[in-house]
Structure 1
Amino acid sequence: MKRIYFLCTGNSCRSQMAEGFGRELLGNDWEVASAGVETHGLNNYAVKVMAEVGIDISGQYSKLIDVDYLNSCDLVVTLCGDARDKCPVTPATVKKLHWPLPDPAAVTGSESEKLVEFRKIRDQIKDLILTLKFE
Structure 2
Amino acid sequence: MADKIRVLFVCAKNDVRSLLAEAMLRHTDSSSFEAFSAGLEPGEVDPRTVESLEHIGIETNGLRSKSINEFDGQQFHYVITLCDKSSEDASRMPSSGEVIVWCFEDPTTSEKHEPFRHALQEIHDRIKMFVTVKTRQ
- Indicate the TM-score class for this superposition, using the shorter chain for normalisation: 0.7 to 0.9
Of the three residues 69, 72, 77, the one matched with 1:67 is 72
SS of 1:106's equivalent in the other structure is coil
Normalization by structure 1: what TM-score?
0.85
Q: Does 1:45 align with 2:48?
A: yes
Runs of 4 or more above 4 Å deviation: none
Q: Percent identity?
A: 26
Residues matched between the structures, number: 127
Q: CA deviation at 1:120?
A: 0.4
Superposed CA deviations along residues 100-128 of structure 1, whole A, max 9, x for unmatched, are 1011112479xxx5xx0010000000000
Q: CA deviation at 1:90?
A: 5.4
Show the counterpart of 1:18: 21
SS of 1:39's equivalent in the other structure is coil
Q: CA deviation at 1:64?
A: 0.6
Contact 1:12 1:39 in 2 (8 A): yes
The separation in 2 between residues aligned to 1:5 and 1:78, in whole angstroms, is: 8
The separation in 2 between residues aligned to 1:58 and 1:89, in whole angstroms, is: 25
Q: Which runs of 5+ in 2 are unaligned?
A: none
The separation in 2 between residues aligned to 1:101 and 1:119, in whole angstroms, is: 13
Q: Which runs of 5+ in 1 are unaligned?
A: none
The separation in 2 between residues aligned to 1:56 and 1:90, in whole angstroms, is: 26
Show the counterpart of 1:79: 82
Q: CA deviation at 1:95?
A: 1.1
Contact 2:27 2:59 in 1 (8 A): no
Normalization by structure 2: what TM-score?
0.84
